[in-house]
Amino acid sequence: MSPARIEISEVFESLKLIFKGIDLRVVCFKEDYQFKNVLIVLRLSYQDPTSIKRHHKNLFKRFGPIETNNLKVISESYSIDHFFNLTRQLCDQKIGIAGREILLGKSIRVFEMKEYIQDYVRNLKEIDKYAGSCIEFTEGNRSPVFDNEDIRRQVGILGYRDVYSAINGILETNFSSTSAFDFLICIPIYAKIENIAYKGKTVTAKGHCHENLGDLSLRLLVSKGDPHKGEMVEKNISGKIIFGRTSHNFRLWRATINPGDLLPEYLIELKLLHPKIGELCGYKTRLKEMMGEAERSPLFSILKQFCFEEDLKKSLLEPQKLKRSQNIFERSISWLLTLLGFSVIWLEEYEKLREPSTKVEYSSIDILAFHMERGVLALVNCTIGVPKDNELDRILEAKRIIQERYGENMKLKMVPVIFSAAKRIDTIKNRSVKMDVRVFDGNEIEAIFEEMKHGDESIFFDSLSNPLFRNLWVRSKDVSEKL
């Protein structure tokens, strides 16, 4: 999230009015009558020391005390006023906690640490429920105590598999054999974007933030792709935040931005900004996910009043079960192309491509589909079964003849396309790729239909322009499953 790493000193100075307490938990090892640090986990919190201590008590009640002959987990809570004193102790290579002095073996200079603000945690169980992001700073190396066989046996008597499982419950961490530190400090950012909506060309964002976190602003980025992957940001607009009621240290905020006309496939990214430390948290989504069906695909929404969605899907995916199956399949494909933004002519009995003077038939095309904005003319044939090899040859012949007759006057991309209701037609599809013919099977027709419902035509058009378009459908399927 953060464009650059930020120092703890800068973060603390900007957010110090938010924090009330310090949550300190320490794993220490007794050796030669001295306690030495194994792992320190330090959190800053909006809660007061009493509330933090109550949480510690509940954790020890749940997991039980972690204490053996040599290993012990200790917790303590302090007022935020103790933070500078604590950082001095860390710098001096020892800290006092619960009446014990813990030796660190090195100096930890907290205010010189730098890290990025992230909207996830790497080493903790979870981010604070009131925080939209946090900063995790780590220092040092994994202690050799975790590999000590005697310590392993001791925690085994307590019922734990290893030292990691023994301490992670009390510490609320994900510490493991791959962790490479012995000091962790987490600073939560108490600001969240919880909801965004798009209606009437206006983006509205809502969320919560700490009552002492003022001077926030919102920025909206609009792009056709991910701006972090080289896509050009088309719009960059700032929005003013209006604050609402406050409850239990947190207040509502709301912002409204009018970016104008946007396409459903556009990527919307909101950033909640602080004047000194920059981006606090973000929210990214496709515009189509924010739109209602009537906005995403108004024509489809109206069509369903006449032809139910399940009837249209059946005519696209199982036309063989219907009377006049070929005719119905062609009509349904023409409707689907219309819903994707094409100007469509279903040729029906005029499907034959003939020589004007002799009426000799060369080929045939079921549907002509033209997309003005993208400059694409699709020559479409439809078949219920598996396309035959000669169908590839015939549609290429149709493309050749049309190009010969009108090519010099037509500044557009002409794409031969075959839609098949059959599934698993890999053999013919492999040949079609080499011949530069697009063949869509039943599974892909279903994917096109689902994308159309969400107002997104981009993947279909990518598949028309890319000879290896099947890879795009794999990615589309993966994204759909995650959503």
Report, as an integer, the average pLDDT of 20-41: 94
Spatial separation of the C-alpha atoms in residues 405 and 410, rounded to whole Å: 10
Strand partners, 108: none
Domain assignment present for 332: yes
Q: Do 230 and 306 belong to one domain?
A: no
Domain assignment present for 1: no
Q: Do 275 and 327 belong to one domain?
A: no
Residue 48 has pLDDT above 50, yes or no: yes
In contact, 329 and 422? CB cutoff 8 Å: no
Q: Do 44 and 80 belong to one domain?
A: yes
Split at pLDDT 50, 70, 90, the class of 347 is very high
φ, ψ (nearest 5 deg) of residue 106: -165, 165
- The total of other beta-carbon atoms located within 10 Å of residue 415's CB is 19
Split at pLDDT 50, 70, 90, the class of 3 is low
Cα torsion through 209, 10, 49, 83, rounded to 10: -170
Least confident of 17-21, 417-421, 462-466: 462-466
Cα torsion through 296, 297, 301, 302, rounded to 10: 130
Domain assignment present for 58: yes
Share of residues in the chain with pLDDT > 70 (%): 92
Report, as an integer, the average pLDDT of 292-319: 87
Split at pLDDT 50, 70, 90, the class of 459 is confident
Residue 35 has pLDDT above 60, yes or no: yes
Report, as an integer, the average pLDDT of 304-315: 93
Q: Do 427 and 392 belong to one domain?
A: yes
The CATH number assigned to the domain holding 216 equals 2.60.40.3240
Count the domains in the chain.
3
Split at pLDDT 50, 70, 90, the class of 476 is very low
φ, ψ (nearest 5 deg) of residue 447: -65, -40
Report, as an integer, the average pLDDT of 49-53: 96
Residue 435, Cα to own-chain centre: how many angstroms?
36
Least confident of 185-189, 245-249, 354-358: 354-358
Domain assignment present for 119: yes
pLDDT digits 0-9 by tens, 178-220 = 999 999 999 999 999 998 888 778 889 999 999 998 789 999 9
Q: Do 273 and 411 belong to one domain?
A: no
Q: Please say which residue of 227, 256, 291 terminates a domain.
A: 291
Q: Do 322 and 382 belong to one domain?
A: yes
Per-residue confidence (pLDDT) for residue 467, from 0 to 100: 58
Q: Do 266 and 312 belong to one domain?
A: no
Q: Do 224 and 301 belong to one domain?
A: no
Q: Do 29 and 123 belong to one domain?
A: yes
* Among 408, 403, 402, 334, residue whose Cα is nearest residue 369: 334
Q: Please say which residue of 260, 276, 291 terminates a domain.
A: 291
Spatial separation of the C-alpha atoms in residues 285 and 141, rounded to whole Å: 38
Per-residue confidence (pLDDT) for residue 328, from 0 to 100: 95
Least confident of 83-97, 177-191, 217-231, 373-387: 217-231
Report, as an integer, the average pLDDT of 426-432: 86
The whole-chain average pLDDT of the chain stands at: 87
φ, ψ (nearest 5 deg) of residue 144: -70, -10
pTM for the complete prediction?
0.66
Per-residue confidence (pLDDT) for residue 290, from 0 to 100: 75
Q: Do 32 and 147 belong to one domain?
A: yes
In what order do the strands lie in the sheet containing 438-440? 343-346, 367-371, 376-383, 413-420, 438-440
Residue 471 has pLDDT above 80, yes or no: no
HEC assignment per residue over the chain: CCCCCEEHHHHHHHHCCCCCEEEEEEEEEEECCEEEEEEEEEEEECCCHHHHHHHHHHHHHHHCCCECCCEEEEEEEEEHHHHHHHHHHHHCCEEEECCEEEECCCCCCHHHCEECCECCCCCECCCCCCCCEEEEEEECCCCHHHHCHHHHHHHHHCCCCCHHHHHHHHHCECCCCCCCCCEEEEEEECEEEEEEEEECCEEEEEEEEECCCCCCEEEEEEECCCHHHCCCEEEEEEEEEEEEEEECCEEEEEEEECCCCCCCCCEEEEEEEECCCEEEEEEEEEHHHHCCHHHHCHHHHHHCCCCCHHHHHHHHHCHHHCCCHHHHHHHHHHHHHHHCCCEEEECHHHCEEECCCCCCEEEECCEEEEECCCCEEEEEEEECCCCCHHHHHHHHHHHHHHHHHHHHHCCCEEEEEEEECCCCCHHHHHHHHHHCCEEECHHHHHHHHHHHHCCCCHHHHHHHHCCCCHHHHHHHHHHHHHC
In contact, 223 and 232? CB cutoff 8 Å: yes
Report, as an integer, the average pLDDT of 368-391: 92
Strand partners, 223: 233, 267
Report, as an integer, the average pLDDT of 23-38: 93
* Among 284, 282, 11, residue whose Cα is nearest residue 133: 282
Q: Do 196 and 184 belong to one domain?
A: no
Domain assignment present for 460: yes
Report, as an integer, the average pLDDT of 398-416: 82
Residue 407 has pLDDT above 80, yes or no: no
* Among 252, 250, 257, residue whose Cα is nearest residue 242: 252
- Determine the structural domain holding residue 347 and report its residue range: 295-482
Residue environment code for 119-131, b if the CB has 16+ CB neighbours within 10 A, otherwise e = bebebbeebbebb
Q: Do 361 and 285 belong to one domain?
A: no
Using DSSP bridges, classify how beta strands 100-103 and 94-97 pair: parallel, antiparallel or unpaired.
antiparallel
Per-residue confidence (pLDDT) for residue 483, from 0 to 100: 35
Q: Please say which residue of 274, 291, 308 terminates a domain.
A: 291
